[in-house]
Amino acid sequence: MGEPGERAVAGQRLGAPESFGVSTLEPGQRPPTAPPGRQVSIRVQMLDDATEVFNISQRAPAKVLFDLVCAHLNLAEGDYFGLEYQDQRKMMVWVDLLKPILKQIRRPKNTILRFVVKFFPPDHTQLLEELTRYLFALQIKHDLACGRLTCNDTSAALLVSHIVQSEIGDFDEVQSFQHLLHNKYMPDQDVLMDKITEYHRKHVGQTPAESDYQLLEIARRLEMYGVRLHPAKDREGTKLSLAVSHTGVLVFQGHTKINAFNWSKVRKLSFKRKRFLIKLRPDLNSVYQDTLEFIMASRDCCKIFWKICVEYHAFFRLFEEPKPKPKPVLFTRGSSFRFSGRTQKQVIDHVKDSEFKKVPFERKHSKIISNSSLTPQDRKRAQVQKEVRVLLDSPGLPDDALLAGPPGVVVNGQKATLPPGHSPDGHLPSSQTSHTSPLTSPLLTEAGYVRTDDEDEVQRKKFPTDKAYFIAKELLTTERTFLKDLEVITSFQAFLRKEDNMPDSVKTLINSNYEPVYQFHQAFLKEVEQRLQQWEGRSNAHIKGDYQRIGDVMLKNIQFMSLLQRHGEVLVELERSCRASRQLEGVCRELEQQKVCYLPLNMFLLRPLHRLLHYRLILEKLCRHYPPTHQDFRDSRAALADISEMVLQLQGTMMKMENFQKILELKKDLTGIQELAAGIIATQVLILVLILVLILEFIRLGCLSKLSGKGLQQRMFFLFSDVLVYTSRGMTSANQFKVHGQLPLYGMTIRESEDEWGVPHSFTLFGQRQSIVVAASCASEMEKWTEDIRMAVDLAERTNGPSTELLSTSLTDSKSPEEGGVEAESEEELSASRSSLERHAAQRGNTTVHVCWHRNTSVSMVDFSVAVENQLSGNLLRKFKNSNGWQKLWVVFTNFSLFFYKSHQDDYPLASLPLLGYSVTVPAETENIQKDYVFKLHFKSHVYYFRSESQYTFERWMEVIRSATCSASRPLVTQRKDPY
């Protein structure tokens, strides 16, 4: 090979400076570009298994060799790759690009370097060139074949089917079978031959570039994607493995990830001899000690892993190349290794801004001409042929159905329809549960039931079948709900205008913050509606291709979506003003009694902040769905970058305001806890928020049974950052819970007590002045409570000692007169809605706290945060268990509940269905539901069937409902005790 000047290197294509890299230790010092001297030949094995020989000066840094390899491949995004070799200790080592090759490899003539992927990004859409994605696909192929990328048989077969499609093209029974016989893509491939060919049949018309894209889409969701295991042990001698990814340091037991330490939580990584140390940042919420220690085989093993951690952190976390540090004059301590080179952000920015000519490349193992080497006429002809084959092979099927696997298969990161009669975990659907009966409402009974025929189904088949259309339609449907939610705030403005002596501060904040947002979203909704009508072929859309996209609409309006910088301040000022003005407090109470206010008023005030999260979700789905060549991909990606930046800037505010809103809401559900928020309300807004977050943090609420002289008594527990409050159901008009006592968490200990008391799932809480015995409804509930209490105890002990008592009640378990008897109210009584007072009581009795009481379950602050992101709206067809017809309803999912309307124009819901405790599955064959895209909600004897319009909407409804029915998403742990 020639010298670097003979052809343009990848760095020059990328717009790089002349230097090959800058050491982070030595200011201004650059490695020599191409020093004269004796040449040495280095063999490099490429990802397509070809071996190339490169000649470089023996004194040249390895960066010269690396750039020659990238120039040979004409690779602009070479920063994701690296060179590795096996040293004399039989260990795989990354080449240090700042040092000469001869100082790293003793016998270069007998060593073969491997050019492989080094940094695996979280999303393959961040790889902007087809060549880069092809090389990544080859890396996945290697990892799958050698057993490094482990996964279940379904995912493995699907991966192989995409590899085969890229290599030989569309399915041919004889050719495909022979190809699989002569090529081994994974261990135990023979037993999966039938499944591989079954999937291969469905990839008809898929180009090699599209196959690469789908392969990476599936692979990036696997737990072992891009993972290199480094053997280690914990302090107790348990065998583990360490790994590093874009998120941080990972801990594996076998091939199961049991822990992850995010970069934001890691303060320092170091090693001392065979000990690898992770020093965590001080975190009051963490259950781990400040420094974690792992034992590795040798100091060299520690250093190798430490180096790759340093590089991963710098590449993914820094915005630009780190500044060089001064070089010590006399003495040095520790390793001099530092990351040098471009960060991922710099790579993306340079490639995105550069206008270089894309050149064709050869797919060594593929028998198909690469799409990148075709002329525009050839590509158009190939696209027409693909569409013809699709129509001939799969008449009437939607586009995404061609890629969908059999029931229960993960396809394109989504879950396809499950086998009839099976739930996601493989068990038969069952109505057996330990929870009590659900809340009901008139609309959820047979009374007033309206049937509808299948005209809607005939009509919907005329609509586009592309997945992007349904993603855009989700934007439309949820935007309609969001605008209705904003109208609740405008109603509040009208209430304020009618009343005299209302605080000017509240009026000003609401008018200035919500009026512009409401006006913008009115116009934005009309634009989205118009685009969807054009996409569906309505209006005068002469050229459908110009309208079959939504990313451009999002990008054009993205700058106006930042009109919400002070919405958290509105929430704080409103609470402060309500405490100063009984008249304003009455206005808020009156508004919440209206049917239109189907959620607490404070939640509507935070809706604009929450809406950003859904915009980000929509754009992420579009970017994952679109191939990079799609006309809407660039706009969607740019809009995603902007909206992600907004979310990042507002994330801290969101967390504080969600915690504040939840505490204010809990205050309404409890009596005897007025001082909970009163003692921390300050006149200055910023001071209030700061004090609120520092003093009080909500963690979990839910039902536990408390052991007393009368036996087990049902109690509602509320866990905060420094106190555990327990209550009983009161008999007030607002269905509030009465506080019985509180246990300060400082110094508290927990002991499991099943054997001691003979009560399943029981444990004892030992406080400094009091101890109580409680029992959870099941083992999982017990684990959630004990883990969160231990975490909260640790949090309390890291503060400045015991906290002051927040409640006015005594620490003893004082009992109300009515507590001795069994409460007589039924859940049906809670849905009464006669007078406004009764409506208010019903709404208060339908909050999450009351649902947890009746369903005997619990919800954490993590669950509430997840619920904020999982909101959905749209038309569904609903059927009862013993009915024949289907009823069309407009359904809104939010706050762990389904809200039912006749249409999206309705101002208030007709009924609601809280989902905590429910199970969501697909109907069994014996239930005789002869329709597509049907899911089933069931709780004891209560069963409802819902029908969606497409595979995409079916999967989305299943996804968001599972987020409410399966509460408390927790990290995967294999054992209760801390492994460190």
854-902 pLDDT, tens digit per residue, is 888 899 888 888 888 889 999 999 988 877 788 999 999 998 999 999 9
Tell me: pLDDT of 431 over 60.
Answer: no
Number of residues assigned to the chain: 980
Under 8 Å between Cβ of 574 and 503: no
- Return the pLDDT at 463: 67
Question: Left if phi > 0, otherwise alpha if psi is -120 to 50, otherwise beta: which for 634?
Answer: alpha
Say yes or no to pLDDT of 496 above 50.
yes
Q: Can you read off the two tokens belonging to residue 315?
A: 């590449």
What residues form DSSP beta bridges with 718? 701, 725
| Per-residue confidence band for 562, with pLDDT thresholds at 50, 70 and 90 | low
Does residue 266 contact residue 248 with C-beta atoms inside 8 Å? yes
> Residue 591: pLDDT band by 50, 70, 90 thresholds?
confident
pTM: 0.53
Angle between the 633-669 and 848-855 helix axes, to the nearest 10 degrees?
A: 80
Residue-wise pLDDT tens digits, 111-162: 899 999 999 998 888 898 999 999 999 999 999 999 999 999 999 999 999 9
CA atoms within 13 A on the CB side of 574: 29
The answer to whether residue 480 scores a pLDDT higher than 70 is: yes
Percentage of residues of the chain with pLDDT beyond 70: 72
Q: Is the pLDDT of residue 498 over 80?
A: no
Q: Are 209 and 374 in contact (CB under 8 A)?
A: no
112-117 vs 81-86, strand pairing mode? antiparallel
Q: What is the 3-state secondary structure (H, E, C) of 318-357?
A: CCCCCCCCCCCCCCCCCCCCCCCCCCHHHHHHHHHHCCCC
- More reliable by pLDDT, 674 or 662: 662
Closest by CA to 113, choosing from 148, 68, 149, is 68
For residue 936, the SS3 value is strand
Q: Cα separation of 614 and 560, whole Å? A: 16
Report the pLDDT value the prediction gives residue 749, as an integer from 0 to 100. 92
Pull the structure tokens for residue 252.
């594996």
How far apart CA 62 and CA 60 sit, in angstroms, is 6
Asked whether residue 470 carries a pLDDT value surpassing 70, the answer given is yes
CA distance 343 to 582: 56
Select the more confidently predicted residue: 213 or 377. Answer: 213
The dihedrals phi and psi of 854, each to the nearest 5 degrees, come to -75, -30
Mind spelling out the 3-state secondary structure of 645-671? HHHHHHHHHHHHHHHHHHHHHHHHHEE
For the chain, percent of residues with pLDDT exceeding 90: 34
Phi, psi (degrees; rounded to nearest 5) at 579: -70, -25
pLDDT at residue 404 tops 90: no
Count, in order, helices (H) and strands (E) of the chain. 27, 30
**Average model confidence (pLDDT) across the chain:** 76
Q: What is the mean pLDDT of residues 926-945?
A: 89
What pLDDT score was predicted for residue 832?
31
DSSP secondary structure letter of residue 102: G
Do residues 917 and 857 make contact, with C-beta atoms less than 8 angstroms apart?
yes
Q: What is the pLDDT of residue 17?
A: 36
CA 215 to chain centre: 20
pLDDT of residue 284 exceeding 70 = no
pLDDT at 827 over 70: no
d(CA 574, CA 570): 6
The answer to whether residue 931 scores a pLDDT higher than 50 is yes
In the prediction, which pLDDT does 25 show?
29
Instruction: Check: CB of residue 293 under 8 Å from CB of residue 302.
Output: no
**Range in 50-54, 577-581, 616-620, 750-754 with the lowest mean pLDDT:** 577-581
Q: Which range (63-67, 288-292, 711-715) has the least confidence?
A: 288-292
Tell me the pLDDT tens digit for each residue of 214-251: 999 999 989 999 999 999 999 888 999 999 999 899 99
**What pLDDT was estimated at residue 695?**
61
Residue with tokens 């789905």: 621
pLDDT greater than 80 at residue 315: yes
The span from the CA of 164 to the CA of 159, in Å, is 9
∠ CA(63), CA(64), CA(68), 5° rounding?
Answer: 115
Report pLDDT digits (tens) over 406-425: 333 333 333 333 333 333 33
**Reported confidence tier of residue 682, pLDDT bands at 50, 70, 90:** very low
Query: SS3 helix, strand, coil % of the chain, rounded to 5?
Result: 45, 20, 40
Among 242-251, 437-446, 564-573, name the one with the lowest average pLDDT. 437-446
Tokens at 379, concatenated: 């590509």
* More reliable by pLDDT, 739 or 23: 739
| d(C-alpha 72, C-alpha 651), whole Å | 44
